[in-house]
Structure formats: structure tokens, C-alpha cells
Amino acid sequence: MKKIPQKKLGARGVRPFVLVKAFTFSSLIVMLTATIVIVALNAHWVRNILLEKNKEYNSLLVENLNHQIFLRFVAPVVYKHGKIKLREKDQHKLLDTVIKSTLHSFHVEMVNLYGTDNIIGYSFDDDQIGKKNAGGVHYEKAMKNQTTSKLVQKGNFLELLLWFPKETKIITFAPLIQEVELSRSGERMVIGVIEVIRDISDDYQKVFKLQGLIVASCLIIMGILFLILRFVVKHGEKIIEHRAGERLRLEEKLRRSEHLSAIGGMTAGVSHEIRNPLGIIKSSAQLLKKKMAKLGPDSKIPDIIVEESTRLNHIITDFLDFAKPKTPDLRPCSIVEVIEKNLTFLAPQIEDAKIQIKTDYQKNIPEILADTAMLYQSFLNILLNSFQALKENGTITISIWSEAGLVHICFTDNGDGISEDMLKKIWTPFFTTKDTGTGLGLGIVKNIIEAHKGSINISNAEPLGTKVEIDLPI
């Protein structure tokens, strides 16, 4: 079957899925971008919620710590000693015991206690004790009875950009309040500042992992959706291309049929006009031959006229057979018997040309409805063409088998084959590579096979030679 060039198909609008493909890709990109944005917003929202929860958690923790410090340390020490002096080992040890027992199992990394002079009087880190003005703005707010928290994150640029810091800590500054009125004024004063530092890196990493899992899931879903849409588009494109190719082939076949019909009509008219005077010429030559036999028996001119008239009549018959194919007289027919009849008729030529005939017939080949005479003529033309293509001691293999409601006949020779250029023109009327001949033989064969609702295909055999394949319905 002739292949339609892709450029020609594209020019005829065989690729209407280009816009669909573009829409598919752009839609997937928009959907993926929107999904990533939504995931990022959700992750940001979750981080804010996590921060607020940790702030509340730290506030409650500081409130409890404030209560325990005042109840178990400030009140007893003031009552016993009258004044708090953290530099004394006993007071420092007592405060350390109270704080650590209160914060046990709460994953607190650091606690600093500031005095009213902004000097660290107690810390988990002994090096921080005595450090001045370390609280900054948050200390000032805490001294005004305001609790504040801040988030401190550490990591490289990429980690911070992707909101996946290596370390995340929340620092809370809260006032250390005198819970019971120890002074005569009756006021609950701020007697210091508590700084609590907690490491919440694990919580943020869980949020990041959740975010990554959502993004990965979306990517997988989008990828699957993309592959499905890609498959649908490709499949649809192939269907459109196939249908467009079929349409172009049908149009080409229709144009060829119209062209052949015009040639056939012209050929039939010319042939009829030639045949009548040709018959007169032939009859006159035969009469002339009888008269010449009396005058000059050695004259060959009448014989030549009769012989050439006969040959010309055969050519005209070919023209008429091609121009106006006969309607087959369908009767039960055995393909094997028709082939064997051909081989019997050609036996002298096969022997003279030293051609070897190999047959491969499947057993119990079913009969078909066909015109035996027309099939005989078509097979005869194919075999004669094979003889002319073969050299001495050539081989022709004839195979016959049946399957899927068809009888398959295959003629294969080991000649030189047909060039690609010639292969494209073999069905063209009046095209021939022989010195003599009308170029209508294969056209007549094709008309006969198609009149029997069959198909014929000619191609080059491997490794060398020509293969003629015929399919006829059972």
C-alpha cells in the first residue's frame, strides 16, 4: 500500500490534535503550579498554627514555672533569709532543683532568669550567668508585664528558602510575677524575667515531610494523568492520521479510476474502430493468398499480412479486456486444478527454459466461487512474466494455503527482482519494460482478481526475486 507523506497529511489537516496537546500540557502545568502553591499555602498555614500552639504551650509552661519558682523558691527564701541571693550556693541549688524538676520531660533546651537590672542571675549554661543587657527588646516588654515569643531558625540558604531549616527554636520572654502580696502596697510586682528556649525542629521537620509527601503525591498523580492524556492524544492522533490516510488513498484511487475509465472508454472506441477494418484486411489477405498461390506460390507477403493482422487483433483484444472487464461467471472452482492446468499448458516452455517449478499446496484447500477461464488467464500472465524475469535454471515456487476465510496464492521467483521506481509504476496502464507488449497484462490480472473480490500485491522477495501474493475469498 502506498504510504502518504507526513507533510502531505499535515497540509491536509490530519493533525487537529495539536491544539489539544498544547491545551493538555498547559493545563497540566497550570494544575501542577496551582497544586504546589496550594501546598505551600497549606504548609505555611500549618507552620503558623504550629507556631501559635508552641507560643501557647510556652506561655503555659512559663506560667507553671513562675508558679513553682514563687511557691517553692521565692516564698521560702524570702521568708527564711529575707532576701534572694542567687550567688549563694544553697539558693542557687534550690532554684536549679525547682526549675529542672518542673521542666522535666518538657524538652526545654535553655532557661535564663533575669533580674530587674537585666542581668542573668540563673541559667542552664553557667557561662551565661552574670551577663548584662542580654534580653534586649523582649526583656523590656516582659518587664512591662508582656509575654513575647520569637522563632529562631538556622540553616543554609536553600534550607531556609524551602522552609526546612536545620534548627528551629522558639524563645519566650515572660515576666516573673510576684503571686502573693509580700509588700505593704499590696501590688503584684514583676520581680524578674523568665527566658525559655525550646527546640521544635522535629515538629517543623514533620511539617516539611508532610509538605514533601503532598507535593510528591501531586506529582505522581499529575504524572499519571499526563501519561493517560498523552496516550489518549497519541491514540486519537493515530486514528485521525489513519482515517485521513485512508481518505487520501480513496481519493487517489478514485482519481486513478476516473483516469482509467477515460482511457478505457477511449481505448474501447478506438479498438472497435480498428477491429472492423482489420477484419477486412485479414480477409482480403487470405483471399489474396489464394490467388497468389496460383500466380506465385513462393510469395510470403499474404502470410505476413495475415500474421500481423492476427497479432494486432490480439493487442486490440487486450485493450478491450482492460477497458471493459468481463463479469465473471462464478462457479465452484479449485485453485489447485487451475494452477495445474496452467503448468500443463506451459510444460514445453518450462522445459525449454530449464525452469524448476516448486509447489507447496496445503491439504484440503476449499473451493471458491470463481470464473475458471478468467483465473486461468490471470495466473498464465503471472507465470509468463516470471518466465521472462528468470535466467536459465531459475526457480518458481507456488504456494497455496487457506486461513481466515481466504485462499492465499503466492508466486515467488528467484530473479533479479523489481527496482523501487519500477515497483511504483507496475499498475500504470501501458507501462512496460519489454520491447514488445502493451503494458496491460498486470492491469488485466488486477481487474480479474478484483472482479472476484480479491486482492493482489507485488513486492520484492528476500533475499532476491519477486513475489506475487493473491487473496481470494472462500
> Is residue 238, in this structure, part of any structural domain at all?
no
pTM: 0.43
Question: Does some domain include residue 385?
Answer: yes
Could you tell me if residue 270 is inside a domain?
Answer: no
- Region of poorest pLDDT, from 118-122, 277-281, 384-388: 277-281
Does residue 469 have a pLDDT over 80? Answer: yes
**Amino acid type, 277:** P
| Higher-scoring residue by pLDDT: 102, 205 | 102
Q: Is residue 243 part of a domain?
A: no
Q: Which of 31-35, 158-162, 332-336 has the lowest mean pLDDT?
A: 158-162
H helix runs in 70-129, sequence order = 75-81, 89-102
Taking residues 350-366, report their average pLDDT.
Answer: 86
pLDDT cut 70: percent of the chain above it: 75
Number of Cβ within a 10 Å radius of residue 317: 12
Question: Which helix (DSSP H) or strand (DSSP E) does residue 298 occupy?
Answer: none
- Render pLDDT for 241-284 as a digit per residue (tens, 0 to 9): 888 888 888 887 787 667 666 666 666 566 556 666 666 776 77
Q: What is the mean pLDDT of residues 49-71?
A: 86
Band (pLDDT 50/70/90 cuts) for residue 173 is: very high
Most confident of 47-56, 139-148, 217-226: 139-148
Domain count, the chain: 1
The reply to whether 257 falls in a domain is no
**CA torsion, ordered 24, 27, 28, 34, to nearest 10 deg:** 180
Q: Which of 200, 81, 174, 106 shows the shortest CA–CA distance to 95?
A: 81
| Domain with 335 in it | 325-473
Low-confidence winner among 99-103, 386-390, 417-421, 432-436 (lowest mean pLDDT): 432-436
Instruction: Tell me what pLDDT residue 463 has.
Output: 77
- Percent of the chain at pLDDT above 90? 6
Mean pLDDT on 214-227: 79
Task: Answer yes or no: is pLDDT of 9 > 60.
Answer: no
Burial 244-274 (b: 16+ CB within 10 A, else e): bbeebeeeeeeeeeeebeeebeebbeebeee
Average pLDDT over residues 32-61: 80
Q: How confident is the model at residue 409 (pLDDT cuts 50, 70, 90)?
A: very high
Q: Is the pLDDT of residue 3 over 60?
A: no
8 A C-beta contact, residue 356 and residue 392: no
- For residues 250 and 243, the answer to whether their CB atoms sit within 8 Å is no
Instruction: Note the pLDDT tens digit of each residue in 426-445.
Output: 766 655 556 555 556 677 78
145 occurs within a structural domain = no
How confident is the model at residue 400, as a pLDDT?
A: 92
Please, are residues 196 and 172 in contact by the beta-carbon 8 Å criterion? yes
**Is the residue at 393 inside a domain?**
yes
Q: What is the pLDDT of residue 63?
A: 87
More confident site: 189 or 284: 189
Q: Looking at the domain assignment, is residue 59 inside a domain?
A: no
Average pLDDT, integer, range 453-471: 86
Model pLDDT, residue 407 = 92
CA atoms lying within 13 Å on the CB side of residue 49 = 7
CATH number at residue 392: 3.30.565.10
Residue type, 44: H
What per-residue confidence (pLDDT) applies to 318?
60
460: number of Cβ within 10 Å = 16
pLDDT over threshold 80, residue 187: no
